[in-house]
Amino acid sequence: MKTAVTLKKDQVYLMLKKLIVDGKLAPSEKLPREVDLAKAHGVGQVTLRVALSKLEEDGLIKRVHGRGTFVTPRSEKRGTEKTIMVIHSSTTGFEAPWHYIAPEISHFAEKLSLKTFVTTNDAIEMHSAQTVKAFIDNNNIIGIILTMNHFNGDESIIDKLGNIDVPIIIAHARRNDSQNTGFTSIVVDEKSGWETAISHLVAQGHSDIAIIGNKTSNPFRDNSKAETIQLLKLNGINPAPHLVCQIDFDKSAIINIVKELMNSSPRPTAILCYSDFYAIYVYEALAQLKLTIPDDVAVMGICGFPDAKFLSPPLSTIDYEYAEIGKMAVEMIMEPKKWFDAKTGKEKLRMKPFQLRARKSTEKTKQKEKKTIMDYSIQHAEQLVFA
């Protein structure tokens, strides 16, 4: 009798396994009640439960208390490599952050024995939402990381991914991206980073600071031109209006504006750039003018371009830490219960700290150090006189 039962439970197990593997029982499909399933296969419920336990051990089914038994979604099945899909914009310029974030995602995913599938926004938009969902289901994709930002809420990719039941993260997002898409976002506090950059230059003894912003909707890293001028005033600087400018990211335009700034009065002793990539062309302009960094003028960037430390001299920057952003995104995909609470929407936006990287491009020169000592001596003497 014992042998017969053992054979029966094996038969049921193999029969159900074949139905699942062949796709006749679809991923996420709910199985009939145990009493009905046992009857359909001509076995008792005890025998059926032994077969179901073995299927569960294989990762082919999931038992959900109070709801029933389900075929495991493909994204959760054992024996297949888990994959993270990385979607980047089609921007090819070297200034696009995805160039530096996407490789780090792959690097950290590999450490966790995960695969990455990297594609573009344009490629996703070529297909229907149903096709995209089927691809994700069939390729064991456990999460999606978008390395683009500035979402308005009407982008078609939002509709393409809207019904996907895996975690979706916008790495290096803008503040409104989470609200506009409904996707969890990693956001760097760019506004505070901009303030820190100005404070750093002031601390280095600069009072005539040229600021080069861009012409997008985010010209001064979440600060308007008026707010940037106010920041200078709060740091004890009475800014010259011509030193706060906006320019497109274009090599010739940046070089020309630097030449104009260095021929103006007052002449800046420091230049704060919208990004490290702007700073690269500022370096080139200053070299053409035969001006030395930082002796003639200090230069500071924003964003943390990984190769900025190899410039001559190494560039000071507010480092958003692209590698850390990639690592955080992968870790969040691996902790869905912590970061993707569908009921409460908790932690839809995760703030990422930045780091001030003070390098040689903003070091105090001997002349500035001497001026600082003289200013201190005068202030100290005045305190003695009026004490």
What CATH number does the domain containing 10 carry?
1.10.10.10
If one compares 205 and 349, the residue with the highest pLDDT of the two is 205
Tokens coding 43: 């076995």
Same domain, 283 and 215: yes
pLDDT of res. 26: 84
Q: What is the pTM of this model?
A: 0.73
Cα torsion angle, 334, 337, 338, 340, sign: positive
Question: Hey, is 313 helix, strand or coil?
Answer: coil
How high does pLDDT run on average in the chain?
Answer: 86
> Is residue 370 one of the residues assigned to a domain?
no
- Give one word for 119, left, alpha or beta, with left for phi > 0 and alpha for psi -120 to 50: beta
> Is residue 366 one of the residues assigned to a domain?
no
Q: Is the pLDDT of residue 44 over 50?
A: yes
Same domain, 278 and 194: yes
| Phi, psi angles (nearest 5°) of residue 106 | -60, -40
Compute CA distances 201 → 237, 298, 309, whole Å.
Answer: 11, 8, 18
Instruction: State the DSSP H helix or E strand holding residue 40, giving kind and residue range, or none if neither.
Output: helix 34-40
Q: Is the pLDDT of residue 344 over 70?
A: no
> Is residue 368 one of the residues assigned to a domain?
no
Question: Hey, is 241 helix, strand or coil?
Answer: helix
pLDDT of res. 77: 52
Mean pLDDT of 309-315: 96
Residue ranges making up the domain that contains 334: 83-188+324-354
d(CA 243, CA 319): 24
Whether residue 103 is preceded by a cis peptide bond, meaning omega within 30 degrees of 0, is: no
> Is residue 153 one of the residues assigned to a domain?
yes
Residue 367's pLDDT band, with cuts at 50, 70 and 90, is: low
Residue 381's pLDDT band, with cuts at 50, 70 and 90, is: very low
> Is residue 212 one of the residues assigned to a domain?
yes
Mean pLDDT of 324-329: 96
pLDDT of res. 23: 75
d(CA 18, CA 72): 14
Residue 210: how many CB atoms within 10 A of its CB?
28
Q: Is the pLDDT of residue 10 over 70?
A: yes
pLDDT digits (tens, 9 = 90+) for 45-81: 888 888 898 888 777 888 887 788 998 876 555 446 7
Residue 368's pLDDT band, with cuts at 50, 70 and 90, is: low
Which of 38, 72, 106 is a domain's end point?
72
- 72: amino acid identity, one letter: T
> Is residue 227 one of the residues assigned to a domain?
yes
Same domain, 225 and 277: yes
